[in-house]
Amino acid sequence: MVTLYHWDLPQDLDDIGGWLNVTISDIFSDYARVCFKNFGDRVKFWATLNEPWVSAIIGYGTGKHAPGIKRIKAGPYLAAHTLLLAHGKAWHVYDKEFRETQKGNVSIVLNADWHFPENNEDLYLKAAKRGMEFFLGWFANPIYVNGDYPEVMKTLIAKHSKLEGIPNRLPEFTEEEKKMLKGTADFFGLNHYTSTVCGNLTYYKNISAVDWDYWNDREIYTRRNESWLRGAPIWLNKVPQGLRNLLSYIKENYGNPEIYITENGWSEKGEDERVGEAALNDTERVGYYTEYINEALKASVLDGVDLKGYFAWSLLDNFEWHTGYHERFGIHRVNFSDPERKRTPKQSAEVYANIVADNGFPPDKSTAGKTGRAALAAVLMAMLFHLTNFAHI
């Protein structure tokens, strides 16, 4: 699977406004055409954009990622609008000009945290649903449902904009754009790492004093459950059940699409400071992968989710966008102080390799990894396996 855009916008395009400039959607479709033309004979799975939520929120809202713009009131909505149009136009380029001969698949990769309601009261169930709409639905609804943003987003952002006496901060799609966007996905690419607890946020008499932005527009609060194991990043918690819930949610709300989990992984606290054998003993990551993969299996076998594959994040310790090399997600450790950048398998590499080689969890642990070993190297490079004929739930 090849991704066309993973947050590295050329400087010349940033100089004209980046994703805040809607004309970039046309430039992106031209770029996609070049890639399809030159590499499409070898690429059968394309992702137009990786995690547009992050591009919009962290790039044009909080400013923690490039281009560092802090416009949380409207920046994310404007950037997301252009990102969606860019995706749709690129998909149509492939569909009209290349699909017949190349016979590939084009989609988008969306990230999402599962939102657990604080309790089972109707108010909190609605808040959790609202959280999902503002997170996943923001991008999934235009593509997989009706070509437009979720109704709750349109209603709340319009209401809050009116309270401040300003034009609606959420851009509108034309009818032609809605028609263009709907159905522009050949599969559902999902990045998932963690979950959150969600509740209703009521402003009461102070509603006129609220500084409305993306976070407040949702009218919810989110928090972590203190019992959850926390990873190295402040946002990362181990909540395997959340993946199963999320997969079922996608099935029920977006037309039961074919799903590929395109990223899922773990970074342990203090891992960067470890030396020797301790640096390779990543028991937390082993537990994370086995439990999350098992929840994915349950979603497939028990819940009827059309789950086609899974990618681990990541094969190697790599550069994380605003933490550099200090957060390690790899199943192979990279020695960044060594000019040769020596790679050494961690414990999780062996465990994951066995799961891939056996296409699941073998009932007899003594046979783990002994089937399919000949094809393992190629499979590991793809970091993909198909969730069929598993022997453990």
Task: Report pLDDT digits (tens) over 254-284.
Answer: 999 999 999 999 999 999 999 999 999 999 9
Asked whether residue 316 is domain-assigned, the answer is yes
**Which among 133, 219, 263, 268 is annotated as catalytic?**
263
- Exposed, middle or buried by CB within 10 Å (0-12, 13-18, 19+), for 236? buried
304-318 average pLDDT score: 97
Enumerate the H helices of the chain as residue ranges: 11-14, 24-39, 52-54, 60, 75-97, 99-102, 122-132, 138-144, 151-163, 175-181, 214-217, 240-253, 283-301, 347-358, 376-382
Q: Decide if 230 is inside a domain.
A: yes
- Each residue's pLDDT tens digit, 184-226: 999 999 999 999 999 998 875 676 668 899 999 999 999 999 9
pLDDT surpassing 80 at residue 365: no
Mean pLDDT along residues 312-339: 95
pLDDT score, position 298: 97
From residue 322, give the alpha-carbon distance in Å to each of 68, 319, 327, 331: 11, 9, 10, 20
Asked if residue 141 is part of any domain, the answer here is: yes
Per annotation, catalytic residue among 51, 118, 268, 295? 51
CA–CA distances in Å: residue 375 to residues 75, 252, 331, 358, 384: 46, 35, 19, 11, 12
pLDDT of 74 higher than 90: yes
Look up residue 331 and give its DSSP letter: S
**Residue 132 belongs to domain spanning:** 2-385
Q: Which pLDDT does position 69 carry in this prediction?
A: 97
Residue 364: per-residue pLDDT: 66
Percent of the chain with pLDDT over 90: 87
pLDDT over 80 at 387, yes or no: no
Across 2-18, average pLDDT:
98
Write down the pLDDT at residue 370.
57
Which residue did the predictor score with more confidence, 384 or 227? 227
Give the model's confidence band at 359: pLDDT under 50 very low, under 70 low, under 90 confident, else very high. confident
Which DSSP string do the residues of 59-121 spell out, in sequence order? IHTS-SSTT----TTTHHHHHHHHHHHHHHHHHHHHHHHTHHHH--EEEEEEE--EEEESSSS
Q: Is 295 labeled as catalytic in the residue annotation? A: no
Residue 283: helix, strand or coil by DSSP? helix
Provide the edge-to-edge strand list for the sheet that holds 220-223: 114-117, 195-200, 220-223
Is residue 10 included in any domain, yes or no? yes
Domain count for the chain:
1
Whole-number Å distance between alpha carbons of 127 and 325: 36
State the amino acid at position 99 in one-letter form: R
CATH number of the domain that 120 lies in? 3.20.20.80
Give the pLDDT confidence of 340-356 residue by residue, as tens digits: 999 999 999 999 999 99
The residue among 250, 249, 257, 293 whose CA lies nearest residue 385 is 293
Question: Which residues have CB under 8 Å from 232's CB, separation 6+?
Answer: 267, 268, 269, 270, 271, 272, 327, 328
- Residue 361 corresponds to which tokens in the numbers above? 């969890």
Average pLDDT over the chain, rounded to an integer = 93
DSSP 156-186: HHHHHHHHTTS--SS----HHHHHHHTT--S
Residues 94 and 41 sit within 8 Å (Cβ to Cβ): no
Known active-site residue 121: no
Of residues 202 and 125, more confidence is placed in 125
The yes-or-no verdict on residue 385 having pLDDT over 50 is: no
Instruction: With respect to residue 38, please indicate whether it lies within any of the assigned structural domains.
Output: yes
Examine residue 170 and state whether it is found in any structural domain, yes or no.
Answer: yes
pLDDT of residue 366: 61
Q: Which residue has the tokens 């994370």?
A: 288
Residue 390 has pLDDT above 50, yes or no: no
Tell me the pTM: 0.93
Q: Give the 3-state secondary structure of residue 338.
A: coil
Is 390 within a domain?
A: no
Give the least confident one: 40-44, 205-209, 335-339.
205-209
Q: Which residues contact 253 (CB under 8 A, 6 or more apart)?
A: 137, 140, 145
Residue 204 has what pLDDT?
59
What confidence tier does 381 reach under pLDDT thresholds 50, 70, 90? very low
Residue 227 DSSP label: T
